Amino acid sequence: EVIAANKPILLLGDLDHPWIKVYVPETALGKIRLGDAARIFVDSFPGQPFQGHVTWISDQAEFTPKNIQTAEERVNLVYAVKISIQNAQRRLKAGMPADAELPTNAAGARSGSAAQ
């Protein structure tokens, strides 16, 4: 096969340490701290949350990514938040769509993938 220039030929993932990136509205950012607990929900395991914790909070606002479902949400400024997820049984797979819930209920935004 021929590989085009500037195209990846291999993607590696660490399924022992997956993470999810969610987008938090500016109004909720002050309620979130590094180390905060989070629950992750994926369609493959309904009603079975995965436990995680906040490991990174962006210091710059951005417009909501285009893959967020409603036009109203896409025009808002948000902050990216990375949540590391416990996956001891390796049930989460790369690319699974997911929802995240923080104790403050501040981040219910969808993510592009649950395990990266």
The type of residue at 78 is V
For residue 7, being part of any structural domain is answered with: no
Give the pLDDT confidence of 21-61 residue by residue, as tens digits: 998 888 888 899 999 999 999 999 999 999 999 999 999 98
**Does residue 6 lie in a domain region?**
no
- CATH at residue 72: 2.40.30.170
> How do strand 50-57 and strand 19-25 relate by DSSP bridges?
unpaired
The pTM for the full model equals 0.74
Structural domain count, the chain: 1
- Is the pLDDT reported for residue 10 higher than 90? no
Assess if residue 102 is contained within a domain: yes
- Structural domain containing residue 45: 19-108
Decide: 36 and 105 in contact? Cβ < 8 Å: no
